Amino acid sequence: MPSLPALLFQTSQSGLLTLSGVDLAIIVLYFISVLGIGFYLKRYTKTGEDFFLAGREMTAWVAGLSFLAANLGSLELMGWAGATYQYGILAAHWYWVGAVPAMLFLAIVMIPFYYISKTHSVPGYLKLRFGEPARALSAVSFGFMTVLMSGINMYSMALVLKVFLGWDIYFSIWVSSITVALYVVLGGLLSAIFNEVLQFVLIWLGALLVSIIGLIEAGGWSGVVNRIHNLYPGQDFTHMWSGLGSFNDNPMGINWIGIVFGLGAVISMGYWTTDFLVVQRVISAKDLRSAKLAPIIGAAFKMCVPFIVILPGLLGLALLPKGFLVPESQAVATGGHSYNEVLPIMMARYCGPGLLGLGVTALIAGFMSGMAGNVSAFATVWTYDIYRAFFKKEGTDAHYVSVGRWCTILGVLVSIGTAYLVMSFKSIMDYVQALFSFFIAPLFATVLLGMLWKRSTPAGGFWGLLAGTVSSVSMWAWVKLDPTAIRYIALSPAAKDMAENMFRALWSCIICALVTVLVSLVTKPKPESELAGLVYGCTKIPSEGHLPIYQRPIFWAGVVAVAFVILQVVFW
């Protein structure tokens, strides 16, 4: 293996290398383009429908790529590459079993209700289905989650600039945050969506370089596997399912129950079907068929993302010196390099002038994508589900657009403060999955029961959601106060942080569902006349029988599902 350049081992107080004039020009051009798009699209965002839902005029391809790009920010690029260095190829589960089935479920089962009800948000759907208390609880929870998630994107961007240039963390956070705030304030969701599609292309161009050149250096996939096995004997970093029979047989300290049920059936279903950050993109589509196709298109591309996110983490395991990267908390204390820095370090290893500028721009694009998605979703939920619901119910459309723009600025400012919370976790993804277990897992049970069970009542929806959220936070606090409690939460004393997150999500979802059912059975449901457009059995779904089979969303969902199964077998 070629030795790393000496500069790679410099301390975190200085950058790994200096960008050339060409690199800086590429980055500056990107920032100018982003702001230019925002100013141009401002003329098309005059009404609330324009600002918050892009006028509902997106094609299936634009909505689908934006749906995926909203989840492909620096959080994904940095976080999952770092998680791969920490846990091995098991991290790919978050892209395959932890994404594809949920995206197909959203397309075929849930999108008709979001789209037909014309809701602006997931809390808006809960208001129609369960009433104001459930909407208020979910809106406040979602507001907390979005600003906490936005802070992660800020922190990720600061890590990129730290690794490459040694720039001041505060300066980098403020420059990037102001840029995001400007283009979302100007163009709303329409601006965010167009920038997300641009960022999607840049991310692929920049990150794919690392995977291609790294595979050449390692001697192909078999070379990567052999190098990892030699460096880490006794640890299986390269198989997805074969080591999940026991908590002790894989680096994550988890078993197949946690992956299939905690991740596949709860966390991923909750995220892809109820997190308004991604659902907002789908319901911006121009018609119901486009809205159903968008997640299917997103799922097809999602299956390819591990080749630009997971593979660089594996290449880091294979090619970097053993122990070079450490947990985030340890890196902060010692000034070393953390797991989360593996992707920019691999980019510094392979990319010269011009290519490095493209790679850094891809990471900046990822940051901008994640940040813009969170703040635009925060502005929508705050404006419609908190401000209009509780402070000014009869305002003009122009007034709500103005409030949405100011909320965007507020969301950015609050997010800056939350960026520092990430430092107390071992990796970015441990932090993210903890947030999902608090807010997303119980919300999924509430929304699913609301859509599929006519008997669920407003009281059941509210108390179930509250019980699920409180129980999840309580379980997390219990393990923090008494680490031995993990044997009860995750069913094994050998379980690690990510396994705890998966099982905590599973328990909170089950608790939410049980409380919802029990309370619903002893309280009065809404009459069926009020459930039209909201619940199966009370809603007429437009038929697609007149379309050729290859134009129906269900056909393409089946194609994607077959490809998904093949991938599981190949990387078993």
- The percentage of residues in the chain with a pLDDT greater than 90, rounded to a whole number, is 13
HSE of 166, CA atoms in CB hemisphere, 13 A: 13
Residue at 273: amino acid letter: T
What is the per-residue pLDDT across 477-501, written as a single tens digit (0 to 9) for each? Answer: 999 899 899 888 988 887 878 888 8
* 451 pLDDT more than 80: yes
Look at residue 11 in the predicted model and tell me its pLDDT: 34
- Of 88-92, 271-275, 553-557, the poorest mean pLDDT is in 271-275
Q: What are the CA-CA distances from residue 296 to residues 99, 277, 309, 327, 558 (Å)? A: 11, 17, 20, 36, 10
pTM of the model: 0.74
Q: Which has the closest alpha carbon to 531: 450, 459, 435?
A: 450
User: What pLDDT band is residue 53 in, cutting at 50, 70 and 90?
Assistant: very low
Look at residue 146 in the predicted model and tell me its pLDDT: 76
* 192 pLDDT more than 50: yes
Look at residue 124 in the predicted model and tell me its pLDDT: 78
Q: Are 155 and 73 in contact (CB under 8 A)?
A: no
The tokens for 66 are 């934006």
* 387 pLDDT more than 90: no
- The mean per-residue pLDDT over the stretch 209-225 comes to 88
Look at residue 2 in the predicted model and tell me its pLDDT: 39
* 290 pLDDT more than 60: yes
Look at residue 511 in the predicted model and tell me its pLDDT: 96
Look at residue 32 in the predicted model and tell me its pLDDT: 76
* 508 pLDDT more than 90: yes
* 9 pLDDT more than 50: no
How many other β-carbons are positioned within 10 Å of the β-carbon of residue 394? 6
Give domain 15-570's CATH superfamily.
Sodium/glucose cotransporter (1.20.1730.10)
Q: What is the mean pLDDT of the chain?
A: 77
437-469: burial string, b at 16+ Cβ within 10 Å, e else: bbbbbbbbbbbbbbbebbebbbbbbbbbbbbbb
User: What pLDDT band is residue 333 in, cutting at 50, 70 and 90?
Assistant: low
Q: Report d(CA 519, CA 532) in Å as an integer.
A: 22
What is the per-residue pLDDT across 67-121, written as a single tens digit (0 to 9) for each? Answer: 676 666 666 777 788 888 888 888 889 889 988 999 899 888 888 877 776 666 6
Radius of gyration of the chain (CA): 23
User: What pLDDT band is residue 549 in, cutting at 50, 70 and 90?
Assistant: confident
User: What pLDDT band is residue 268 in, cutting at 50, 70 and 90?
Assistant: confident
DSSP state of 285: B
Look at residue 468 in the predicted model and tell me its pLDDT: 95
User: What pLDDT band is residue 12 in, cutting at 50, 70 and 90?
Assistant: very low
- The mean per-residue pLDDT over the stretch 283-305 comes to 82
- Of 121-130, 196-205, 292-301, 491-500, the poorest mean pLDDT is in 196-205
Look at residue 371 in the predicted model and tell me its pLDDT: 67
How much helix, strand and coil, in percent to the nearest 5, is found in the chain?
A: 75, 0, 25
- The percentage of residues in the chain with a pLDDT greater than 70, rounded to a whole number, is 71
Look at residue 426 in the predicted model and tell me its pLDDT: 61
Q: Where do the H-state alpha helices sit in 42-105?
A: 48-53, 60-69, 74-87, 100-105
Residue at 274: amino acid letter: T
Contact residues for 533 (Cβ-Cβ < 8 A; gap 6+) = 113, 116, 117, 539
Strand partners, 285: 58
